[in-house]
Amino acid sequence: MEKDNEIIPIFFAVDDGYAPFLAVALESLIENASKDYNYAIKILYTNITEGNKKKILKYERDNVKIEFVDLNYYIEEVKDKLYTRDYYTQTTYYRLFIPNLYPQYNKAIYLDSDIVVLGDISELYNMDVEENLIAAAPDDVIQNSEIFSDYAERVVGVAKHENYFNAGILLMNLDEMRKFDFQAKFLYLLESIKFTVAQDQDYLNRLCKGRTKIISKVWDRMPIPTDEIKEKDIKIIHYNLIYKPCHFDNVLYQEYFWNYAKKTEFNDDLINMKQSYTDQEKFRDMEQYKNLQKLAKMETSCVGDDRRFYQGRNEIEKSEERLKILKKIEEYEKNGTFDIDVEDDPPTIPLNPGEVDYLQKKSSSRIKNIIANRMGKKFLDDLLNDNKLIIKEIKGIEYLKNVKSGAIITCNHFNPFDSFAIEKTFREAGQDKEKKLYKVIREGNYTNFPGLYGFFFRNCDTLPLSSNIETMKEFLRAVDSILQRKDFILIYPEQSMWWNYKKPKPLKIGAYKFAAKNNVPVIPIFITMQDSNIIGEDGFFVQEYIINIEKPIYPNEKLSEKENANIMREKNAEIWKQIYEDFYKIPLEYSTEKKHLEEEKI
């Protein structure tokens, strides 16, 4: 298609509450846009103050013209039919009226306002849409959730959930959309079908299926950890759903948002928004996201599923990422690199002294802890109810129940959810009535994990390690205090997580030093597993866990701390080895060359 006199039309749809986000988006867009084009920015609205309009209009340049377009008159007849819920407003539907509102344009870009543009927006505009109605990137939230993926295929009706796109960044082929009579068909669907989960995005996916050009996620990168996209390649960051830097701490890529925010007249407003956003509001946001999952699950359960006729009744494709991980585990075992994770951790931001309230001395820390633990309990119950975590049996629970002092719990680490299995076991033993269970975690998980999991990592009785020596001193003092006040600490002495790896790996000495120094026992737990009859979203069987708790290993008061630590580690390793061989009926052997195994013991 020909360019419209070198003019690139770009549309936003906002209300007054999103004006600060729009300013950040415009600041980043204009700074990085090619000067070879003119940009016609249209802001669709029904409610914006004159003061905010004046602030936004200051972004006009010689090649950037901004126009506010009042849609009150245009949507008068249909506004009562535009269903909304939670944090959505009717502005989310405005993009659907663009083809008919602007017949002079052949194509246009639509952008949500909760974005930062790092690339040249003209590159997106100049993509060849061909005869498709739109070009858009896959939705990360849909791709990373079995519930939402199922919903996309069965309720919305896309052939493959990988083709379900996010509607926050769109290159719209307005010519083809008008030929398709897009607006009339949308209004017809609005009368006949009620999509309640992603609303306008669901309508867009339904109407455009089969006529969507799927583009790279670099143009719609959400703050969800993955090694799929390199940070240097990102063109647009999309802080959608609960991933808002002005609401939550430690959102991935938050530094880009604040770098551009400080250049706007809304910076103080955004900082105040962050400071005044309460734990109750954060809890509400997370509950809304979980309710959204429940809504998608309920709607999906009301729809038949005929996919087995073209997918094969029992044929579920195994995740390529999982297969790569399994291959990586084979390589790591062969090379003897047992203490390195096979999956990439979030980038590490060093924790400086005073940044972690290890012992929850602040009232704000205690409040967050209470909220996080309540949410964590519900999350755990949901995992169990949805068969994403299956605990078949707990053996030796009396060994955990009878410990009255503080203690170190050691466990093999093979799944992000295995700590929830230990949490469940801790409660089953009744220890939660008088004690707390702390979990030692990696620095990056504490500093840079977004969303709900990040909230858990920072507030659910966690003890983050640190690359800062002074912060590690605070960590060590906290460990001593916790054990002396008779609480428990969960440590993974293998120092790595290998997905569904059944063998015990060589143990590091740290956990046993803590126990020896504080004269408390180590409670060795080894989880064995077997296939259930449920296939997970990755195409592999969900594992059934047998949690094996063995007799506590106590330090010998006649020995030194160093001697005790080494003996306790050796006993722990022997116990795990015995459990493994008894359960799987095979000797514990590694593919590692002997010299690597000897190095691990040093």
The DSSP-derived string for 525-577 is EEEEEEEEEEE-TTSSEEEEEEEEE---BPPPTTS-HHHHHHHHHHHHHHHHH
Same domain, 22 and 171: yes
pLDDT digits (tens, 9 = 90+) for 506-525: 999 999 999 999 999 999 99
Same domain, 138 and 248: yes
pLDDT digits (tens, 9 = 90+) for 468-492: 999 999 999 999 999 999 999 999 9
pLDDT of residue 74: 66
When comparing pLDDT for 5 and 322, which is higher?
A: 322
Q: Tell me, yes or no, whether 376 lies in a domain.
A: yes
The CATH number of residue 117's host domain is: 3.90.550.10
Same domain, 16 and 92: yes
pLDDT of residue 295: 81
Q: Tell me, yes or no, whether 511 lies in a domain.
A: yes
* Range 223-235 burial, b when 16+ CB lie within 10 A, else e: bbbeeeeeeeebb
* Number of domains the chain contains: 2
Mean pLDDT for 316-333 is 84
When comparing pLDDT for 577 and 97, which is higher?
A: 577
Boundary of a domain, candidates 273, 297, 321: 297
Give rounded-to-5 percent helix, strand, coil for the chain: 45, 15, 40
Contact of 32 with 117, CB cutoff 8 Å:
yes
pLDDT digits (tens, 9 = 90+) for 37-69: 999 999 998 889 999 999 999 999 999 999 999
The CATH number of residue 447's host domain is: 3.40.1130.10
Cα–Cα distance measured from residue 426 to residue 374, given in angstroms and rounded to the nearest whole number: 16
Task: Please give the DSSP secondary-structure letter assigned to residue 264.
Answer: S
Task: Please give the DSSP secondary-structure letter assigned to residue 218.
Answer: G
Same domain, 111 and 205: yes
Same domain, 281 and 374: no
When comparing pLDDT for 471 and 304, which is higher?
A: 471
**Residue 491 in tokens:** 């440590």
Q: Is the pTM of this model over 0.85?
A: no
Cα 63 versus chain centre, distance? 38
Same domain, 149 and 233: yes
Same domain, 265 and 370: no
Cα–Cα distance measured from residue 562 to residue 582, given in angstroms and rounded to the nearest whole number: 31
The CA–CA distances, whole Å, from 36 to 16, 121, 270, 585 equal 32, 12, 32, 70
**For residue 500, which of 582, 414, 573, 566 has the smallest C-alpha distance?**
414
Q: Tell me, yes or no, whether 63 lies in a domain.
A: yes
Enclosing domain of residue 109: 7-297
Q: Tell me, yes or no, whether 20 lies in a domain.
A: yes
> Other C-beta atoms within 10 Å of 383: how many?
17
The CA–CA distances, whole Å, from 131 to 173, 213, 340 equal 8, 9, 48
Cα–Cα distance measured from residue 11 to residue 40, given in angstroms and rounded to the nearest whole number: 8
In the predicted structure, residue 399 carries a pLDDT above the cut 60: yes
pLDDT of residue 93: 64
